[in-house]
Structure 1
Amino acid sequence: MSTYVLIHAAWHTGEHYWPTASLLRAAGHHVFTPTMSGNRLGDQKTTGLAESIESVVEFISERNLGDVVLVGHSYGGIVITGVADRIAHRLRRLVYL
């Protein structure tokens, strides 16, 4: 089975992916739906692209995830491009949604 990390759009949270994550998990996949820096409760709304990228890099690295299918929706697509530039060795595929 695959490991998916689903990255939300701007002004959303990882919670928006919970229904999709449930379906993928039911099929036997490992699925993560992190909320990027700047979108968590109490975060400053002045967070920029670099911080968003770094928060996803840290999420994947701290969990020692590898062979990841990284999915980015809208603004998340920009973020996953930056993540791939930093930790390509941990990724199997990028999916732009």
Structure 2
Amino acid sequence: MTEFVLVAGAWLNGSVWDDVASGLRALGHGVHPVTLSGVGEKRERPVGRQTHVNDIVEEVERLGLRDVVLVGHSYSGIPVGQAAERLGDRLARVVFVDASVPTDGESFVSAWWQGPDALQGRLDANGGLWALPEAAEFEGQDMTDEQIARFLAGATPHPGAALSDPAVLDRPLGELPATYIKCLLDGPEPDEDVARLLTSEQGELVTMDTGHWPMISRPGELAAILDKAAAS
């Protein structure tokens, strides 16, 4: 039995995976959604250097999990990629769902597509927190009004300290068995960091014809892809 550890991206807690988790459990897998410090029910927990990496590693070790497929969505690809290195032989595969991937010494802010000053300015203007997405950011993302409402109901502003935390990698990420899931409605091509990851013999690219939050828009399809990745 594969043990899936599911980590949501910015703003979201572990409950965003509920429909995916149901699908994976029906296929016989263990499923363990993780809520990161500073969001959701853990919004009061302090966030500093490597906090989100430690959240993930400590949960895997606390539960005594092995044969782990570690899944990170969006922002959480950065701490997930670092945690994957630290899991050693507990790790079977790491899966990035339309995610950022870590580069040693770089952070989510430093790699922001509009430039680091653009995102840092938004954080500074909101007391160090990343405000929830506005309605326009959901346009063209294959989500119904009901699904958007569900997203916002379960979301909390994201701690900027995590977004600006530089990644620490002891070896090239491409040495890990990895699957990257690209959601085509959020842009057809992976970025340069992802492209480098996929040059590895252990890397594979899978596409979904949906938006950036497939655990909401296409949970059954995502569960099937994760099940197949576990068998890779």
Aligned identity (percent) is 39
Paired residues of 1:37 and 1:52 also in contact (CA < 8 A)? yes
Paired residues of 2:15 and 2:33 also in contact (CA < 8 A)? yes
SS of the residue 1:36 aligns to: coil
Match of 2:16 in 1: 16
Paired residues of 1:71 and 1:95 also in contact (CA < 8 A)? yes
Match of 2:79 in 1: 79
For structure 2, the residue ranges without an aligned partner over 5 or more in a row are: 98-232
Match of 2:52 in 1: 52
Decide whether aligned partners of structure 1 residues 96 and 42 sit closer, same or farther in structure 2, where only a CA change above 3 A counts.
closer
RMSD: 1.7
- The CA distance in 1 between the partners of 2:81 and 2:19, in whole Å, is 24
- The CA distance in 1 between the partners of 2:9 and 2:42, in whole Å, is 18
Higher-Rg structure is: 2
- The CA distance in 2 between the partners of 1:15 and 1:70, in whole Å, is 16
SS of the residue 1:33 aligns to: strand
Match of 2:35 in 1: 35
Number of aligned residue pairs: 97
The answer to whether the aligner puts 1:7 opposite 2:7 as a matched pair is yes
For structure 1, the residue ranges without an aligned partner over 5 or more in a row are: none
Decide whether aligned partners of structure 1 residues 49 and 35 sit closer, same or farther in structure 2, where only a CA change above 3 A counts.
farther
Decide whether aligned partners of structure 1 residues 49 and 27 sit closer, same or farther in structure 2, where only a CA change above 3 A counts.
farther
Q: So what's the TM-score if we normalise by structure 2? A: 0.39
- The CA distance in 1 between the partners of 2:35 and 2:51, in whole Å, is 12
Relative contact order, CA 8 A, sep 6+: which one is greater?
Answer: 1
